[in-house]
Structure 1
Amino acid sequence: MVKQPKRAVTGAHYGLKDWLAQRVTAVLMTLYLIGLAGALYIAAPQDYAAWKDLFSHQVMRIATLVFFICVFWHAWVGMRNILMDYVHPVAIRLTVQILVITALLFYLVWTADILWS
């Protein structure tokens, strides 16, 4: 019997966590969109005041914030995987990753500001 050499395991082992994060965020985004579609079907806002009234409820604001957190997390996992696969120079990859993280955090703060202003 030939003994196989041990293979060195390399990498950050993001696979299962990223796969699960993508699926969980996708399910949460789908549930939010179904709920929003139902709310719009029941009482479609016709003007700015009606839209403002729809998003004035705390539950709707929190659900919308959770939706956008899921969108940004989903986007981060996808962008990180794309950058790790296609941008090989480490300095460039890390710079772009930092720019993506900064942009997504800015968008998250902007979303919260819009929802609670």
Structure 2
Amino acid sequence: MVKVASTFGRSGTHDFILLRASALVMAAFAVFLVVWLVCNPGVDYAGWVSLFSGMGMKVFTLLALTGLLIHGWIGIWQVLTDYVKCSKLRGVIQYIVVLALAVYWFTGLFVLWGV
């Protein structure tokens, strides 16, 4: 088995499982939101606040956001390893992407717990 240094010990199986798990969480979240919107037509600000003020919805949303970021990171990592051959440039781009993903996650955390 070939191990690439930039995977930090992960394997293709690990990435496969993470992608499938994150896709399931995102799909469940999307289905839930669509059903909720169909059941609550004409939703206003108060309706959104009441939906996202519950602890279960906050956890579910944060889990969906985490799944989205994991999904995105694995996809970006695969594209970068396929198309950016200069390892220093790839490392810089990966660092910037990881920094942006961390900022997105913390922004989501602060927005969710601010409701």
- TM-score strictly above 0.5: yes
Answer with 1 or 2: which has the greater Rg: 1
1:1-117 equivalences under 5 Å are 9-12=1-4, 14-44=11-41, 46-117=43-114
Deviation string, structure 1 residues 64-97 (Cα, Å, up to 9, x no partner): 0000000000000000010011101110000000
Query: Aligned pairs, how many?
Result: 109
Deviation string, structure 1 residues 34-68 (Cα, Å, up to 9, x no partner): 11212222223522111111111111111000000
Query: Residue 11 of structure 2 aligns to which amino acid in structure 1?
Result: Y
Distance, in Å, in 2 between the alignment partners of 1:93 and 1:75 is 16
Distance, in Å, in 2 between the alignment partners of 1:34 and 1:10 is 38
Stretches of 4+ aligned residues off by more than 4 angstroms: none
Query: Residue 10 of structure 1 aligns to which amino acid in structure 2?
Result: V
Distance, in Å, in 2 between the alignment partners of 1:45 and 1:23 is 34
Query: Which stretch has the larger CA shift, 17-26 or 79-88?
Result: 17-26
Hey, what does 2:7 align to over in structure 1? none
**RMSD (CA atoms):** 1.3
Q: Which runs of 5+ in 2 are unaligned?
A: 5-9
Q: Which has the higher helix share?
A: 2
Query: Residue 61 of structure 1 aligns to which amino acid in structure 2?
Result: K
